[in-house]
């Protein structure tokens, strides 16, 4: 028979384990990319590379890091509704194996409806999967006194079983040495973002 002290200790360890699982959700795996597979970086000005030279954008740097073609499908100023309308043509044209979605920042900056922004991202995930591509979601931070990821990204990732990188962009935009202005990375920041995405892809199994 277990003593009360042992029972209490066991309950504490179980509670701690559950708390750690909630705080640190397991990363969703990605299928391995073949060498001729196409990756689409889909988003707004951060994907486009505003604040740096064209060859310094994160999609260009990422292409060199992972050895696959990465298409820069970033449109400055775009909100999630615009991305949702634009995505089908991009998917049809590029036929990607993986789409990296980094959208929502302009919705947040313009104080647009967060629920609608989240629903638009969900619809983009549905559209991408209908075209046979996998998804990697980039968490976009809320800019304020502290730079932290908007909560709906992790909620969508858990709900839809999507691979999520939610720390890198927040850390970059919290560091003045990595920014061109308040909301855009500089060349060093975009390199840092590309490196974080490449590391996430490796941990998720997309690349070796």
For residue range 112-155, what is the model confidence (pLDDT) as tens digits?
Answer: 999 999 999 999 999 999 999 999 999 999 876 568 889 999 99
- What integer best gives the mean pLDDT of the chain? 89
Determine the average pLDDT of the residues in 64-81.
98
Q: Which pLDDT does position 12 carry in this prediction? A: 42
Give the start-to-end residue ranges of the domains of the chain: 36-204
For residue 21 the two structure tokens come to 């699982």
Reported residue count of the chain is 208
Q: Which residue has the tokens 């995930």?
A: 125
For residues 27 and 204, is the Cβ–Cβ distance under 8 A?
yes
Share of the chain above pLDDT 70, in %: 86
pLDDT for position 5: 47
Q: Quick one: pLDDT at residue 104?
A: 96
Instruction: Give the mean pLDDT of 60-77.
Output: 98
Q: How confident is the model at residue 6 (pLDDT cuts 50, 70, 90)?
A: very low
184 neighbors 50 (Cβ within 8 angstroms): yes
Q: What is the DSSP letter of 35?
A: T
H helices of the chain, in order, are 4-23, 45-48, 58-66, 80-94, 105-109, 114-130, 151-160, 168-173, 187-204
Distance CA 48, CA 33 (A): 23
Class of domain 36-204: alpha beta
Instruction: Give me the pLDDT at residue 145, please.
Output: 55
Confidence bin at 13 (pLDDT 50/70/90): very low
State mean pLDDT over 8-12.
46
Q: Structure pTM? A: 0.86
């Amino acid at each position: 028979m277990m003593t009360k002290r042992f029972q209490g200790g066991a309950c504490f360890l179980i509670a701690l384990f559950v708390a750690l699982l909630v705080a640190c959700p397991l990363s969703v795996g990605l299928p391995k990319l073949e060498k001729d597979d196409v990756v689409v970086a889909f988003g707004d000005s951060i994907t486009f590379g505003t604040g740096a030279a064209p060859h310094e954008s994160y999609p260009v740097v990422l292409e060199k890091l992972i050895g696959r073609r990465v298409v820069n499908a970033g449109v400055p100023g775009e909100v999630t509704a615009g991305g949702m309308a634009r995505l089908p043509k991009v998917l049809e044209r590029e036929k990607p194996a993986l789409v990296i979605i980094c959208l929502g920042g302009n919705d947040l900056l313009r104080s647009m409806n967060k629920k609608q922004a989240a629903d638009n991202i969900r619809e983009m995930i549905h559209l991408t999967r209908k075209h046979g591509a996998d998804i990697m979601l980039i968490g976009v931070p809320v800019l304020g006194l502290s730079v932290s990821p908007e909560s709906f990204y992790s909620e969508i990732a858990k709900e839809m079983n999507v691979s999520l990188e939610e720390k890198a962009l927040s850390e970059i935009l919290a560091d003045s040495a990595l920014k061109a202005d308040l909301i855009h990375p500089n060349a060093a920041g975009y390199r840092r973002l590309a490196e974080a995405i490449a590391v996430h892809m490796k941990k998720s199994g997309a690349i070796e």
